[in-house]
Each structure stands twice: as structure tokens, then as C-alpha cells.
Amino acid sequence: MPKVALSLQAAKDKESDILSKLSKVQQASKTHKQQTKLNQQRHEWIEQLRSQRRDAKRLEEELRNLTESLNFVKEMEQAKAETDELANNTWFQVNGVRQLMTQLRSRNPERLQKAPAQALALQDIFTSVAAALGGQGMALAAQAYEFESELRSERRALRSSGALAAGPSSTAAPTHDG
């Protein structure tokens, strides 16, 4: 009988050995599953980070473009305000000269001959009005030239992008801006 007792004892030892190894395997499996879940979570976070960085770059580019366009709009508004102010000042001066001329027509011409200082003052006024009108004309001519230059460059850009999009087989006739 001692053999059976030894076998029973050996079986119990074997069973406890197997159970301890099984618990180690289960523990390792649990740890591996947790590590896999953590790795998956890290991977998702990395993908979210990349996506957010792409979005941030896109939004920064949009913001930069909008800022540039707003600056352009502000510059255009400022230029328009300056042009309007110059035109208003010029027309204010012209209207003042018109009123002065109306008053001079109703005055006695002999009185003007007796006061040559008034004639010199009138000559100064007419000179300043002529200078203001000349300056306004030059400013308008310069602005028209700038607009025409911008228009030509935009047309060239549109034509070159249209030519690239249409390809070399395009049959559009070339035009010249001058």
C-alpha cells in the first residue's frame, strides 16, 4: 500500500504544481490582455493626436488666409477712405470757388479794380484749386494704372491655370493684354 499512498501524494504534488503553473499562465494571459488593451489605447491616442495636428495645421492655414484677405480688405477700405477724403476735400474747394464766383458776379467790377489784393487772393485760390484738381487727377490715374496691372496679372494667372487644367490640347485662342 505504500505505493498507492506515494502515488496519491505524487498526484497531489503534481496537481498543485499544475495548478500553480496554470495560475501563472492565467496571470500572464491577464497581463498580456491588459498590455494589449493599453497598446490599443495608446495607438488610438496617437491617431487622435495626428488627426488633431492635421486639423490644427489646416485651421492655421485658413486663419492665415483669412487674415491676409482681411488685411487686404482693410487696405482697400483705407485706400477708399483716403481717396474719398481727397475727393471730398477737392469738391469742397471747388464748391467754395463756385460760391466765391457767384459772389464776385454780383459785385461791382470797379471795386475789384480798386482793391488789387483781392485779385491776388483770388488768383491764389484758383491756383490752389487747380493744383488740388490736378493732384486728384494724378491720384486717380495712378490708381487706375494699379487696378489695370492687378487685372492683367489676375488674367494671366487664370489663363495659366486654365491652360494647365485644359492641357496642351486646348483650342482656345490666345489673347493679349497689352
Angle at 139 between CA 65 and CA 96, to 5 degrees: 125
Q: Is residue 178 over pLDDT 50? A: no
Mean pLDDT of 119-125: 78
**Grid coordinates of 173:** 485662342
Q: Where are the beta strands (DSSP E) in the chain?
A: none
pLDDT band for position 157 (50/70/90)? confident
Average pLDDT, the chain: 79
Q: What is the pLDDT of residue 5?
A: 57
pTM listed for this prediction: 0.33
CA end-to-end span of the chain: 120
Percentage helix, strand, coil for the chain under 3-state DSSP, each rounded to 5: 90, 0, 10
Q: How far apart are CA 78 and CA 81, in angstroms?
A: 5
pLDDT at 44 over 80: yes
Q: What is the pLDDT of residue 1?
A: 42
